[in-house]
Structure 1
């Protein structure tokens, strides 16, 4: 950092904003809500600041990036002048429209943030970020500062006054800001002050200039048009959510997770990104800071599974279409025909580099763009993929002849390479190992192909497939089981009869979920007890112990939320229903005020890692629906 101060010292500092109010330099990760238009997304803080926004896509360079550099990232402030006694935030019911309320000594102000979603088939997508501020009670003096910092703060831009707003012109992106209040240009920013009497509102619309079209004075969104945008956005989300078939005990939690997964879907391609953010740390001040704005085959396959369980077959069909395009371009080799992750467009070349001009969230550098895991071999992705295809074929539209041919070709490669060391589900950077979970999911891949072939009468070398499947099974049972510790372990032993290292791994909780073992199997029950005794703390679950299993990175991390929901399901499947319900209810208390989850939960309950994370929300859906079934 430029001034040499330590992470904690800088993180605890406040800053005085242009309105004279005092702000923390960084809001907690959990103090944000998500809005989006199925192409990109923005994070809005409980204080009304937009601290993260990439345009025009999830993986585009940021326009507002104060989440990762409070001074140089850029943000959009909107709120009352002076101190605010209380901030409140909620979603307009059954939608992804975010409402932020600010209580002052003069009244109550409400900021409505949303991104309109156009109907499918519209050729011209007008990408708009809409902010409508309303005085609910009393009056308020308001101030807004729109300070974009394009291309992760690396590109200069100019701000120009327009008849009804300001235009920001950068090297690669031009944004048009229209407002029903007067704005003025100050340097490269736009600033506005205005008074609101009770019942009055002011509207701001930030739009890509390439899609705005026409004269801004003609295109200005007035109060009536704003209300129409609001209502059409409400209608879109409610109509979409009405397809959900879940009617169980935790309907509100499941619906919010489904709405979040939908927000992480890139509608034009059908891709599902792992998270809308990059660089949020798994440990404050640590180096575990990754870019998650891409499509992990694993995450997307799990998401497909969750959405199918809720009745959302259109999203499943769209993802299968995206996947088919990826399969068409698949190349064999040491890393296999599939890559761990892809861009939204299906490209696998995602070189990782560091934004060394940014300090990182609360000083947590380095801030990485791109992801080096794209070059890793992770054999488990084949199991997750084939399992999702199996479910889609069974409950969705069914797979085509072309898709079956592609899958058979991929399976042929896997049958030759399944016994290869890999990086594993947790993408460690400590070299390749023979991971038990990877073997488990290779077994799933072959077993699901056998099921599809038998049910549909499709061609395949079933004799060979069954022979290799059985070899995988025996390897896991013989070399992945520790007789001494009475548990399945993270890595296979080198030879049968040789004891493996006694390293626990929470990913093995899924064994009965993928139908490898019965939940009543004594070996699985013993594994659950071992994980409970060593990796679980008050329903929160660590994925493994880094001290036992060095992962090639410095520092530690929080508990992994997907593992915590797997724990709920494992308890339920082994008959510990009351414990499972208590663990699930406890996990709900770790959600933020909107029901959103980051990747990890820290020792004091703080959210860590990228936010919100698809894996966590799909695991919540799976745990809630499964537990409902067991409870009757």
Structure 2
């Protein structure tokens, strides 16, 4: 079981414009501005603070704290934390980022709202507001007004508007909480109405938005709460202004203790975004896909038939230079802290398949406000030409190996998927000559992969053409329709992967050492790929057991990071990881009993 009190016992709040991470004691420990990939106003998650309150956090404490309880309001992104003192006094902190429709468009301001209520007794509290700038190197200058504090840093000014005593907040003084209080942290703008009125109205409208959004999901019969939480989390990873979907909200949470495997995931990987879109589509939530396709269209147009990076900034930035911040100790003191990601320089040839897979539904789905057309197909054909040209060329692979290039099976597989989907799109558009061309290319790639990726020595499909090492990514062969899952070669591959890569329900990415040695922790999405494969080959009960085990290692709020320690069940890696939350949805949809079994 995962140990109680893990540092990734965090809740995510957000509104598709900003997001924040809040720990089990209602401390905001991560919050970036002006976007998910910006400078953290609150960075305590990476500062390894020795005591609280800490710089780079927003803390609300109850005197003589004993324990806490935390949960989301059902079907929403509104988080409630109850802090209970040793004498029985209790308070409740309500955290959210406003999101609702106003004047027929989404209202998602860069504002965090915190509401504090006395619940029992005569609690005394302390509010410590310690924003920082320039990754914790600059302490903002504080000025005060009648009902606000202003925090002025080199990149701008934040304003905390509140009906709490300003003096107590500024001096971090303990005081008695005689009634509800409200705090709005946002741009340096005047709040025109009373802060309590605004906070109450925004909470009500935000709750209504999320419950209406959840109500429209086509849920499986079983595991509905887990699916809803995963879906809301994925939605919050959408930067709606541009349509980009980040892989995670954090940087530099190590994949394993003291491993140096610390990366910045606050960018849009085309691979991860495709899987997010596909998972939400399976719940009949197509709005995220429509937003993402806006972003993807810009990527494809800019590439003009040339190289496409595996990731971009959420504002379409191509250059994301990777730098190391040595003044921060890092998560639990396990640096380094890195900003930017060198992987934007990589050649990862699976990206072309992921682009086309991400866009394919838009040619077939009549629900969309704008269905793709022949002009869009012409743009995607240019991407397909790149897939065809690179399908047999060495690359860094989907695991972004920095010092080793091979013809990776997963990259060739996605090149096949690109050609296969283009053939199907051409049929839908009544373009028979193009359909024949892309079908012939798909068949050529498929025949070569089946022949050269198969390892007689391992009796399994290997991680590279002509190779012998095993890699969990070959499980995607069944998921993207490349092979009949009942094919004896695929079944043998599942057996071989279970023998070599699995620790009980957990699954590692690959067996060969990489730039940092052999992986120590299990990669959560691989366990979900395994579940999918087991269901497809008829081992449903085994798949259900693994799924229940993976649900058990989620944090208390139902969220997953990238990796799990197979010995302790502790979560590691960037958080919350979209790949992992995608796995929850996919497994539940595939494993659930049908609705007509109960109605």
In 1, Cα distance between the equivalents of 2:440 and 2:26?
A: 59
Is 1:94 the counterpart of 2:75? The answer is yes
2:229 to 245, 256, 264: 256
Match of 1:510 in 2: 476
> Does the 8 A contact of 2:14 with 2:236 survive in 1?
yes
In 1, Cα distance between the equivalents of 2:287 and 2:106?
A: 19
2:561 to 598, 603, 624: 598
Secondary structure, aligned partner of 1:132: strand
2:155 to 146, 156, 172: 172
In 1, Cα distance between the equivalents of 2:425 and 2:89?
A: 62
Secondary structure, aligned partner of 1:512: helix
In 2, Cα distance between the equivalents of 1:294 and 1:561?
A: 19
In 2, Cα distance between the equivalents of 1:284 and 1:183?
A: 41
In 2, Cα distance between the equivalents of 1:286 and 1:555?
A: 10
In 1, Cα distance between the equivalents of 2:304 and 2:141?
A: 44
Q: Which moved more, 1:437-446 or 1:459-468?
A: 459-468
Match of 2:546 in 1: 583
Match of 1:49 in 2: 27
Deviation, 1:74, is 0.9
> Does the 8 A contact of 2:158 with 2:187 survive in 1?
yes
Match of 2:505 in 1: 539
Residue-pair matches, total = 583
> Does the 8 A contact of 2:423 with 2:437 survive in 1?
no
1:360 to 330, 333, 352: 330
1:610 to 555, 574, 577: 574
Residues 462, 93 of structure 1: CA spacing in aligned structure 2 closer, same or farther, 3 A cutoff? closer
Q: How does 1:545-564 map to 2 (within 5 A)?
A: 545=511, 549-554=512-517, 556-564=519-527
2:281 to 308, 325, 329: 308
Deviation, 1:560, is 0.6
Is 1:571 the counterpart of 2:534? The answer is yes
After superposition, give the CA deviation of every residue in 1:523-574 in whole Å (9 maximum; x if it has no partner).
00001111111111221111112xxx23212564410111111111111111
In 1, Cα distance between the equivalents of 2:475 and 2:31?
A: 36
In 2, Cα distance between the equivalents of 1:124 and 1:426?
A: 37
Deviation, 1:123, is 8.9
Secondary structure, aligned partner of 1:592: coil
Is 1:328 the counterpart of 2:294? The answer is no
Match of 1:266 in 2: 239
Deviation, 1:130, is 0.8
**Displaced runs of 4 or more, over 6 A:** 629-632
Deviation, 1:185, is 8.2
Match of 2:343 in 1: 373
2:63 to 63, 66, 81: 81
Q: Which moved more, 1:612-621 or 1:387-396?
A: 387-396
Match of 2:214 in 1: 241
In 2, Cα distance between the equivalents of 1:571 and 1:479?
A: 24
Deviation, 1:93, is 0.9
Secondary structure, aligned partner of 2:47: coil
After superposition, give the CA deviation of every residue in 1:433-466 in whole Å (9 maximum; x if it has no partner).
1111111111111011001111221375344423
Deviation, 1:219, is 4.7
In 2, Cα distance between the equivalents of 1:88 and 1:581?
A: 29
In 1, Cα distance between the equivalents of 2:362 and 2:439?
A: 22
> Does the 8 A contact of 1:590 with 1:605 survive in 2?
yes
Is 1:278 the counterpart of 2:251? The answer is yes
Q: How does 1:115-514 map to 2 (within 5 A)?
A: 115-119=97-101, 126-184=109-167, 191-197=172-178, 200-209=179-188, 212=189, 214=190, 218-222=192-196, 224-331=197-304, 336=307, 338-395=308-365, 397=368, 398-458=371-431, 461-493=434-466, 500-501=467-468, 503-514=469-480
Is 1:28 the counterpart of 2:6? The answer is yes
Is 1:60 the counterpart of 2:60? The answer is no
Match of 1:17 in 2: none
Match of 1:21 in 2: none
Deviation, 1:629, is 6.3
In 2, Cα distance between the equivalents of 1:520 and 1:285?
A: 41
In 1, Cα distance between the equivalents of 2:247 and 2:383?
A: 24
Deviation, 1:470, is 2.1
Deviation, 1:399, is 1.1
Secondary structure, aligned partner of 1:323: helix
In 2, Cα distance between the equivalents of 1:221 and 1:562?
A: 43
Match of 1:111 in 2: 93
Deviation, 1:31, is 1.3
> Does the 8 A contact of 1:282 with 1:608 survive in 2?
yes
In 2, Cα distance between the equivalents of 1:56 and 1:149?
A: 14
Residues 192, 56 of structure 1: CA spacing in aligned structure 2 closer, same or farther, 3 A cutoff? farther
Secondary structure, aligned partner of 1:466: helix
Deviation, 1:155, is 2.9
> Does the 8 A contact of 1:112 with 1:132 survive in 2?
yes
Deviation, 1:286, is 2.0
Residues 195, 185 of structure 1: CA spacing in aligned structure 2 closer, same or farther, 3 A cutoff? closer
Residues 167, 512 of structure 1: CA spacing in aligned structure 2 closer, same or farther, 3 A cutoff? same
Q: Which moved more, 1:529-538 or 1:464-473?
A: 464-473
